[in-house]
């Protein structure tokens, strides 16, 4: 079993970036709580200073170890400064979680050039820049691992979120080539491809209910459930797993789109 008390985990992004949900807490927040609860030393890099005060307060109230660093996640120089701060705090990094999530709604025709620049810069170039910045610290870590937060939209494409889908599709390819590139340093690279998430017991909006009907499990996932998969991919138990894009979607992508709901109707 992984002894997380000996691990330094860096989580890049814990709130949504640009787009219609900017500033809302997301899976990076849940990852910070999950790793800290297991005993890891957690460092969160995120530009939302107010949110990070809240997150650190929650984690420390539960006895966890956490620090936060404010940085522009699309600026390589800012990420390198964040890396230097992590080095000053811990001297190394064992796990890097790239939890970048920026979403802009709207089809290709209606979306602006600027929104495409912002989403791709955050969701695709952000993980590239973070991995390059923190690679020197990962090289000195223990059983090192990078985990990207991807999306099933990167494989299937979501017509309402084309820029997000394109960026996450690029992240799938990046996972494969980065795993090859970093293997010589003993660093594993994987991707947890999420689907829709909602807080447990939260009311389900009508549009979400339609999507939930297309999953085998008939519900949304929770941020904590995705965080648990991220922790597994980063753990010693996954020591022979690298270059993988693992769907965490309740079975949504395992069947031809739309057929799950149709099959349920025929059984009724």
Which residues are annotated as catalytic? Answer: 164
Query: For residue 83, what are the contacts with CB-CB under 8 A and spacing of at least 6?
Result: 133, 134, 136, 137
Mean pLDDT of 245-267: 71
pLDDT at 17 over 90: no
Q: How confident is the model at residue 23 (pLDDT cuts 50, 70, 90)?
A: very low
Across 50-63, average pLDDT: 95
- Write down the domain spans for the chain: 4-205+220-255
| Domain 4-205+220-255, CATH | 3.40.50.720
Q: Alpha-carbon distance 46 to 90, whole Å?
A: 18
* Residue of 90 and 23 predicted with greater confidence: 90
DSSP string, 49-115: HHHHHHHHHHHHHTT-EEEEE---TT-HHHHHHHHHHHHHHHS--SEEEE----B--S-TTTS-HHH
Determine the pLDDT at residue 106. Answer: 87
Q: Over range 196-211, report the average pLDDT.
A: 69
Q: Record the tokens describing residue 110, joined without a space.
A: 């209606």
Angle formed by the axes of helices 27-37 and 223-234, nearest 10°: 60
């Amino acid at each position: 079993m992984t002894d997380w008390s000996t691990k330094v985990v860096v989580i890049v992004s814990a709130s949504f970036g640009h787009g219609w949900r900017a500033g809302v807490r997301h899976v990076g927040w849940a990852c910070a709580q999950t790793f800290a609860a297991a005993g890891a030393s957690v460092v969160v890099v995120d530009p939302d200073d107010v949110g990070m005060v809240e997150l650190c307060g929650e984690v420390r109230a539960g006895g966890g170890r956490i620090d936060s660093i404010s940085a522009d996640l699309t600026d390589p120089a800012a990420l390198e400064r964040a890396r230097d701060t992590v080095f000053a705090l811990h001297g190394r990094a064992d796990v890097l979680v790239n939890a970048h999530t920026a979403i802009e709604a709207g089809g290709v025709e209606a979306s602006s050039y600027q929104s495409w620049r912002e989403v791709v810069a955050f969701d695709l170039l952000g993980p590239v820049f973070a991995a390059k910045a923190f690679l020197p610290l990962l090289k000195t870590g223990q059983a090192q691992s990078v985990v990207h937060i991807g999306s099933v939209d990167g494989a299937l494409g979501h017509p309402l979120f084309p820029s997000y889908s394109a960026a996450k599709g690029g992240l799938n390819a990046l996972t494969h080539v980065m795993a090859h590139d970093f293997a010589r340093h003993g660093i594993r690279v994987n991707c947890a491809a999420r689907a829709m998430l909602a807080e447990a017991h939260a009311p389900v909006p009508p549009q979400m209910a339609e999507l939930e009907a297309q999953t085998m499990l008939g519900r949304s996932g929770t941020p904590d459930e995705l965080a648990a998969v991220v922790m597994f991919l980063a753990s010693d138990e996954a020591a022979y797993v690298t270059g993988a894009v693992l769907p965490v979607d309740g079975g949504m992508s395992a069947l031809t789109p739309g057929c799950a709901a149709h099959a349920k109707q025929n059984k009724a």
